[in-house]
Chain A
Amino acid sequence: MSMLVLEDVHTHYGKIEALHGVSVEVNKGEIVSLIGANGAGKTTLLMTVCGMPQASSGRIFLEGRDITNEPTAQIMRSGLAIVPEGRRIFSGLTVEENLHMGGFFNNKTEIRKSQAHVYELFPRLKEREHQRAGTMSGGEQQMLAIGRALMSRPNMIILDEPSLGLAPLIIQQIFEIIGHLRDEGITVFLVEQNAHQALHLADRGYVLETGKIRLHDTGKNLLANPDVQNAYLGG
């Protein structure tokens, strides 16, 4: 069963084509990693899934539904959540308020339940419940960003560079949590520059290069692939 399917997706920024026909498939319950160098189009691919910008050709299906031309707000309310690059938490709001924003379209009981769940995953956030989110450390902010995305009880979560600018120890924790999410049945689509860890964790992986999918294999095989080793794993 596929969760998310991209079929020959092209995306333009004005006249410049950033994605030249990308096809990706993410099955239910999987962790799929997308790796690639700077400027390969990883973030563009994710943003296209979210509908900003919309794909100029090709089709995108979420749980079998064609979402290619749907507005962002509608896509993001249908069981999909994203942890955007650079965290983008609401720094002026408290941790709790940030989480409540994540569950904006749920009722109070659901919010309370998901909040308890998030605090269970990240006990640290519970301690900081009433603190302004902007005053927390980078790792805590990343936890909050993930927690906020989980508040809407998504079936699928997209993470854009969750390890960006974090200490190795924290990165380790974040990856553990991602593995834990899969165990809870959430499908994970992970975009990373930290190729080694991303592939290690992933069931399958895609390698994106200058707007095209270069390679596609299981995580293990990609780790062993000499081309990947040379280009992304430092030889």
Chain B
Amino acid sequence: MAANNYRHALFCAIVTLIISFPILGFNLEAKGVNIELTGAKTSTIVAVILAAVAVFVFQAYRDSFMGLLGKLPKLNPLAGREPMEQSKRVKLESWVLTGIVVLALFWPFVVSRGSVDLATLVLIYIMLALGLNVVVGLAGLLDLGYVAFYAVGAYTFALLSQYTGISFWMALPIGALLAGLTGMILGFPVLRLRGDYLAIVTLGFGEIIRILLNNWTTLTGGPNGIGGIPEPTLFGMEFGRRIKEEGNTSFHETFGIAYSGEHKVIFLYLIALVLAVITALIIRRFMRMPVGRAWEALREDEIAARSLGLSRTAVKLSAFTIGAFFAGFAGTVFASKQGFISPESFVFLESAIILAIVVLGGMGSQLGVILAAIAVTILPELAREFSEYRMLIFGAAMVLMMVWRPQGLLPMRRIHITLNKQG
């Protein structure tokens, strides 16, 4: 047992050395036209060796470390309490949510412009994650190309505004509907596939859309992207210093206040907030409707669901379409917020991050997904001080999260047990 432990620890330490030495132990330096390979500083090498020793010690005494960690989760103050009654919990949850929304409404007026901007991005991710939550969390369809529908929404607005001068408010439903339609069309041939196969096919579709946008230069401008996407207006009032479109008035002149760039940012944030709340409410409604139960039933057991007369295609397609619809929603807001979009914004990594949000939040749980969206978007920003290590911290946080809470931050709860009734 003990000898085995040490052998394992030694092995791990050697692996650490093998991995880190070539990466950190050598430097490539440009000397004139040539590149020269030099050894790293002694301090780096010492650090690498120390790291290997640390790995060895941890692995060798792993059991006792983990035992100590096992005693930690006492942190949860609610651990000993009995689960709250269902009706009470639902009430409390809706109060908390209303409170958060009200706070979020006033919040942008007290904080800096940068954080409002970041919060808008968070809200866009919340919309995306709530949409994907329907597809992955509820219907159990692993969709790795979700970003495609996001792109459809964004590009719909960008292209329509470029060619027809359409406003944000007109583009919002059109973008969402078009994304939903794309979801339906893409969904039809692929939804007979299951699990891994579906994941690969959707991954392919995501890439097809991106590559199409990248190469259809005459229409989309290719990698140059599309700029000059208009910002949303408030009943025909623009937020810019000067009016861009005839017939519109400007916000600061109408209300007789001094022009400030912050108005626009705050307005965009509020729009995103309202749309995110609408998204959450609509999806919540869907979850409680029969179609929501059909999604879950199909996820739990496809054969049983079909044996009850549910049409597999109809149920899956509805989830896929609704998910895509809200991605289009988010895409339109994104295009308007950035003012410029290019295929670069819709790479596979985006799909992966949205999926990570859903998994981290707890599949199927709306509140969990919202919390995870906040965490995943803000964490890399908070870790900015660590500059190049911030993605490392982000990755490590995800790994730890999955080790300790594989069911997600706030897993979907549907248990309302009434025990001991039969006495």
Measuring CB to CB, which residues of chain A are less than 8 angstroms from any residue of chain B? Answer: 50, 52, 71-77, 81-82, 84, 88-94, 97, 100-102, 104-105, 127, 129-132, 148, 152
Contacts and interface: CB of A to CB of B under 8 A. Distances in A.
Contacts of B415: 94, 132
B421 interface: yes
Nearest to B417: A131
B196 interface: no
B112 interface: no
A92 B300 contact: yes
A214 B65 CA distance: 66
Most buried by A among B306, B311, B314, B422: B306
9 contacts: A73-B311, A84-B303, A84-B307, A88-B303, A90-B297, A101-B294, A104-B310, A130-B416, A152-B308
Interface in B303-326: 303-312, 314
B293 A89 contact: no
A76 to B, nearest CB: 4
B385 interface: no
A76 B417 contact: no
Interface in B269-306: 290, 293-294, 296-297, 300-301, 303-306
Contact of B416 (A82, A84, A94): A94
Given A97-B293, A104-B294, A127-B421, A72 B306 contact: yes
A73 B27 CA distance: 65
A92 B411 CA distance: 13
Contacts of A84: 303-304, 307
A89 B309 contact: no
Nearest to A89: B304
A50 B414 contact: no
A73 B418 contact: no
Contacts, number: 80
Contact of A93 (B290, B300, B418, B422): B300
B229 to A, nearest CB: 43
B296 A92 contact: yes
Contact of A130 (B294, B307, B308, B418): B418
A127 B422 contact: yes
Contact of A76 (B293, B306, B314): B306
Contacts of B307: 50, 72, 76, 81-82, 84, 88
Contacts of A71: 311
A74 B312 CA distance: 12
B304 A90 contact: yes
Nearest to B312: A73
B306 A52 contact: yes
B227 to A, nearest CB: 47
Contacts of B305: 90, 101
B309 A90 contact: no
Given A50-B307, A73-B309, A76-B308, A91 B300 contact: yes
A74 B307 CA distance: 10
Contacts of B414: 92-94, 97, 132
B296 A93 contact: yes
B304 A73 contact: no
Contacts of A102: 308
A155 B141 CA distance: 34
Nearest to B415: A132
A130 B417 contact: yes
Contacts of A81: 307-308
